[in-house]
Chain A
Amino acid sequence: MADSVTSLTSVEAIDVTPVQKPRQLFLEVLYDWITTVDHKKIGLMYIAYSLVFLIVGGIEAIIMRIQLAVPHGTFVSPQVFNRMFTLHGTTMVFFVGMPILFGFGNYLVPLMIGARDMAFPRLNAFSFWISALGGILLYYSFIGGVGLYGAGSAPDVGWFAYAPLTAKVFSPGHSTDYWTLSILLSGIGSIGTALNIVTTIICMRCPGMKLNRMPLLSWLYLVTSSMVFIAISPLTAAQIMLLLDRYIGSHFFDTQAGGSAVLWMHFFWIFGHPEVYILVLPAFAFANEIIPVFSRKAVFGYPAMVAASVGIGFISMSVWAHHMFAVGMGAGANVFFVFSTMIISVPTGIKIFNWLATIWGGKIRFASPMLFSVGFLFQFLIAGLTGIMLSVAPFDWQLTGSYFVVAHFHYVLVGAILFMIFAAFYYWYPKVTGRMMSERLGKWHFWLMVIGFHMTFDFMHIPGLLGMPRRIYTYEPGRGWEIWNLIVSIGAIVQAVATLIFVYNLIHSYYKGEVAGNDPWDAWTLEWSTASPPPVYNFATTPVVHSRRPLWDIKHPEDPDWNYE
C-alpha cells in the first residue's frame, strides 16, 4: 500500500468492456480459485456455494410441499419428511443465508471503504474453506447410510436439534454427529470471517473515511459481524457439549443423569434468535444502498439509521426466550421476554420510516433492484406485525407449534431477506461481471416471485390458525386444511420457477448481457469508481474521500456533499 495517495478526482473510466483474458487451462483456473486469497474471488466463491445450496434447499422445500399438497400424501415416507425439514432448515440458515451474506460482505466491504483487500487475506480463505467443508459434511451424511433412496442417514432431529432427541438412544448412528460437526465447522468459519470483516472496517478504511462517513452497508456489517462473536460462539460451545455427550458419555443434555433439555433450548436460542438478525441486517444493508440510489436522494436520517442498527444488535441479544414461552419458564421470564421482544420493533420501525422518507418525493426508477426492495419493505412490515402478535405469550402458546409460525418466519426469511438478496444480485452484478442482468427476465422473476411468495406464505397462516401443526408429514382430510395446503404448494412451485428464471438470467447475462461500464446506476459509493469487474488491487490509486457520497462530489463539484454533513 505504499503507492501514491491522491484525491479521487474522476471515475476511472477508460475501458468499459469486460476484459477477455487469454484462455487458461481448466486446471490452471481451478488452481487459481482454490488457492486465491483475493477478497473478491472468495466473496464470489461464497456466493456460488450458497446459490448451489439455495437450489438444494429449495428442492427439499418442494419435496415437503408436494407431500403436503393433498391429505394422506404418500410421496415420501415420514422419516424422509423429517430429514427433509431438518436439512432444509439447516441448509437455508447455515449454508445459504450465512455464506451469501459473508459473500457479499467479502466482496463489497473492502471496495466500499476504499481498501485493497481484507485485513487478513489468508484467514479469509481459511474461513471460506472450513465453512464449505461444513456444508459438504452435512450432505455427506446421505452417502453414509442406507442408500440414496432412503435418503441415506441424513439427520432428522430438526434444525434446532432439541434434546433429548439428539441423545444416542433416540438418534443412533451418525446422522446427528454429521449435523453437529457441520454446524461446528461452519461456525468456526463464520467467526473467522466476522473477525476479518470487523478488523477490515476498523483498520483498513481509506483516508477521509471516518466512521460517520462510511457507507451504511459497512456500518451494518460491523454490527452483524460483532453479533456473530456473541451469537455463534455459544452455538459452537453447545455443539461441543453435544459432541461430548454423544462421544464420550458426558451428561450435559442427558435427562437420565440429571441433565437438562431446557438448557439446550436456552443455548440454542441464545444463538438462534440473534441469528435471524445476523441474517436480516445485511438485508437492511443492501436496502440502505439500493433505495437511495433508485430514489435519487441521500438516505434519510443517516445517524438514526446507524443508531437503530446498533440498537437492534444489542436488543436482539436479550429476546431469545420468546422461542420458549411454551416451555413453562414462569411468569417473570415470560414478561421480560415479551417486552424485550416488543421493544425491538422500535428501532426496526425507525428504519422502515427512514426508508419510506428516502423514497418519499424522490425520482424513483423501478429497475429490478428497486422492485425487489419495495417488495422487501412491504413484506418486512407484515412479517413484523405477525412477529408482534407472536411476542404476546398467550397468543404464542396457541400457535407456536403451528403453521402460523412457519408462515411468520418465512415472511422474514424469504419475503425480506431473500428478496433483498435478489435485489443485491441485480444491483451489484454489473460491478462483478461488467455486464447488466436482463431487465426483462428480472421483471418476470420479480412478479412470479411476488405471486408465488404471497400464495405460499399468506395462505400458510390460515391452516396454522385452524390448528395445523408444523412438522407433520401428512394430515387427515375434512379439517378444512386441504384447499389452503394445495394453494401453498402451488405457490412454492411458482417460486421455484421464478428462482430458476433468476439462475438462468445470471448465466445468460454473463455472456450476453449489455456492457455495463463502471457506474451503470449513477451511484455514489466508492465501488462504482473502479473498473467493472474491479482489478485485483481494486483501486489504481488509494482514494481519499471527503463525504458520505464521494462519487456525488465528483459528479457535482458545484454542490458537494460535505456541505450537508
Chain B
Amino acid sequence: MSTIPITPDAADEPWVLPDRGTVGMACLIMAESAIFVIFVVAYIFYMGQSLSGPTPRQVLELPIFTTICLLSSSFTLHWAVAALRKSKMGAFTAWLATTVALGAIFIIGTGMEWYHLIYVDGLTIRTNLFGTTFYSLVGLHATHVIVGLLMLLAALIFALTGHVTEKHAHRMDVLSLYWHFVDAVWVVVFTVVYVLGR
C-alpha cells in the first residue's frame, strides 16, 4: 500500500459511456438469440423422427430467390443509413424503400410456400413432428421479419413526410442492428431447415 496519495483524475477525464440504444438492442438480440437457439435445437432434435410423412425431402424446395432478397436487404439498409449520415435524403429514402420491398418479397415468398405446403402437400403443424418444428421455427423467424418490416415502414413514412434528418441516423443504426440480426438468423434457419434437414 502506498502512502503517497494519488491525485484522483476522474473529474478531468472525458467521461463517455456507450450508447443506450445500442446496448439495449444488443441485450434484446442476446435474449432473442436464446429463444431461437431453443427452437433450432428442437428442430434438430426431431429431424427424421416423424412417425408419418410427408418428409422434408418430399415437400421442401430451396427458397433461393427470397433468401437472396432478404440477405441483400441488409446491404441496402446499410447504404441507407450511410446516406442518411451524409444527409443525402433522397438516397436514404430510396435505399430504405428498396429494403422494405426486399423484405416484403421475402414475406410474400414465405406466404406462398406455406400456402403450397398446406393446401397442396397437406402439411400442417399437426401433421407430424416435421410440420410442428418447421412451422414454429420458420414462423418465429417470419414474425421477426414482419416486426422489422413494420418498423422500417414507419421509418419510411417518416422519411417521406420529411420527419427524418441526419440527427436520427443513430436511431436508424439501432434499427438496422435488429434487421441484420434477423438476417443472420435466417442464415442459420436456412442451413438447418433447407440444407441439413433435407
Taking beta carbons and an 8 Å cutoff, which residues of A are in contact with B? 7, 119-120, 191, 194-196, 198-199, 202-205, 207-208, 210, 226, 228-234, 236-238, 240-241, 244, 248-252, 257-260, 263, 267, 270, 544-547, 560, 562-564
Q: CB < 8 Å: which of A205, A232, A544 contacts B11?
A: A544
Chain B residues near A270 (CB-CB < 8 A): 38
Q: CB < 8 Å: which of B34, B125, B131 contacts A234?
A: B34
- Asked whether A230 lies within 8 Å of B30 as measured between CB atoms, the reply is yes
- Asked whether B34 lies within 8 Å of A230 as measured between CB atoms, the reply is yes
What CA separation (Å) do A260 and B30 show in the bound complex?
27
- Asked whether B11 lies within 8 Å of A249 as measured between CB atoms, the reply is no
Chain B residues near A238 (CB-CB < 8 A): 38
- Asked whether B34 lies within 8 Å of A562 as measured between CB atoms, the reply is no
Q: Is B64's beta carbon under 8 Å from chain A?
A: no
Closest to B131 in A: A250
Q: Is B105's beta carbon under 8 Å from chain A?
A: no
- Asked whether A191 lies within 8 Å of B23 as measured between CB atoms, the reply is no
* Size range of the chain B interface in the assembly: 35 or more
Chain A residues near B6 (CB-CB < 8 A): 562-563
- Asked whether A233 lies within 8 Å of B32 as measured between CB atoms, the reply is yes
Chain A residues near B15 (CB-CB < 8 A): 207-208
Q: CB < 8 Å: which of A202, A229, A233, A259 contacts B23?
A: A202
Closest to B4 in A: A563
- Asked whether A119 lies within 8 Å of B20 as measured between CB atoms, the reply is yes
What CA separation (Å) do A547 and B49 show in the bound complex?
59
Q: CB < 8 Å: which of B10, B31, B132, B133 contacts A195?
A: B31
Given A202-B17, A205-B17, A258-B129: A563 in contact with B5 (beta carbons within 8 A): yes
Q: Is B24's beta carbon under 8 Å from chain A?
A: yes
Chain A residues near B49 (CB-CB < 8 A): 258
Q: A551 CB to closest chain B CB, in angstroms? A: 15
What CA separation (Å) do A22 and B19 show in the bound complex?
40
- Asked whether B18 lies within 8 Å of A202 as measured between CB atoms, the reply is yes
What CA separation (Å) do A204 and B24 show in the bound complex?
12
What CA separation (Å) do A226 and B23 show in the bound complex?
12
Q: CB < 8 Å: which of A244, A260, A560 contacts B45?
A: A260
What CA separation (Å) do A546 and B3 show in the bound complex?
17
Q: CB < 8 Å: which of B8, B20, B34, B126 contacts A233?
A: B34
Can you list 27 contacts pairing A with B, beta carbon distance less than 8 Å?
A195-B31, A202-B17, A202-B23, A203-B20, A204-B17, A208-B8, A208-B11, A208-B13, A231-B34, A233-B32, A234-B34, A237-B35, A248-B125, A249-B126, A250-B125, A250-B126, A250-B135, A251-B128, A251-B132, A252-B133, A259-B129, A259-B132, A263-B42, A544-B10, A545-B10, A546-B10, A562-B8
- Asked whether A248 lies within 8 Å of B39 as measured between CB atoms, the reply is no
Given A208-B11, A234-B37, A564-B1: A252 in contact with B31 (beta carbons within 8 A): no
Given A207-B11, A263-B45: A257 in contact with B38 (beta carbons within 8 A): no
Chain B residues near A237 (CB-CB < 8 A): 34-35, 38-39
What CA separation (Å) do A393 and B31 show in the bound complex?
32
Closest to A190 in B: B31
Given A544-B10, A562-B8: A250 in contact with B31 (beta carbons within 8 A): no
Q: Give me 11 other A-B pairs in contact (C-beta within 8 A), A198-B27, A257-B51 excluded.
A: A191-B31, A195-B24, A196-B24, A203-B23, A204-B20, A233-B31, A233-B38, A237-B38, A241-B136, A563-B3, A563-B6
Chain A residues near B24 (CB-CB < 8 A): 119-120, 195-196, 199
- Asked whether B125 lies within 8 Å of A236 as measured between CB atoms, the reply is no
- Asked whether A233 lies within 8 Å of B51 as measured between CB atoms, the reply is no
What CA separation (Å) do A250 and B132 show in the bound complex?
5
Chain A residues near B4 (CB-CB < 8 A): 563
- Asked whether A250 lies within 8 Å of B30 as measured between CB atoms, the reply is no
Q: A151 CB to closest chain B CB, in angstroms? A: 32
Chain B residues near A195 (CB-CB < 8 A): 24, 27-28, 31
What CA separation (Å) do A372 and B35 show in the bound complex?
38
Q: B135 CB to closest chain A CB, in angstroms? A: 8
- Asked whether B27 lies within 8 Å of A251 as measured between CB atoms, the reply is no
Q: CB < 8 Å: which of B8, B50, B125 contacts A244?
A: B125
What CA separation (Å) do A233 and B30 show in the bound complex?
9
Chain A residues near B28 (CB-CB < 8 A): 195
Closest to B3 in A: A563
Closest to B29 in A: A229
What CA separation (Å) do A232 and B19 show in the bound complex?
25
What CA separation (Å) do A203 and B16 show in the bound complex?
9
Q: B12 CB to closest chain A CB, in angstroms? A: 10
Q: A410 CB to closest chain B CB, in angstroms? A: 29
Q: B50 CB to closest chain A CB, in angstroms? A: 6
List B21-67 residues whose CB lies under 8 Å from chain A: 23-24, 27-28, 30-35, 37-39, 42, 45-46, 49-51
Ranked 4 nearest A-B pairs via Cβ: A208-B10, A546-B8, A233-B34, A237-B38
Q: Is B2's beta carbon under 8 Å from chain A?
A: yes
Q: CB < 8 Å: which of A234, A547, A564 contacts B8?
A: A547
What CA separation (Å) do A258 and B46 show in the bound complex?
9
- Chain B 109-151, CB within 8 Å of chain A: the 1/0 string? 0000000000000000110110111011000000000000000
Closest to A263 in B: B45
- Asked whether B35 lies within 8 Å of A234 as measured between CB atoms, the reply is yes
What CA separation (Å) do A229 and B39 show in the bound complex?
15
Given A257-B129, A546-B8, A546-B10: A563 in contact with B34 (beta carbons within 8 A): no
Q: A139 CB to closest chain B CB, in angstroms? A: 27
- Asked whether A560 lies within 8 Å of B5 as measured between CB atoms, the reply is yes
What CA separation (Å) do A545 and B11 show in the bound complex?
8
- Asked whether A249 lies within 8 Å of B125 as measured between CB atoms, the reply is yes
Closest to A564 in B: B1
Closest to A236 in B: B35
Closest to A233 in B: B34
- Asked whether B5 lies within 8 Å of A258 as measured between CB atoms, the reply is no
Q: B117 CB to closest chain A CB, in angstroms? A: 15
- Asked whether B42 lies within 8 Å of A252 as measured between CB atoms, the reply is yes
Closest to A188 in B: B31
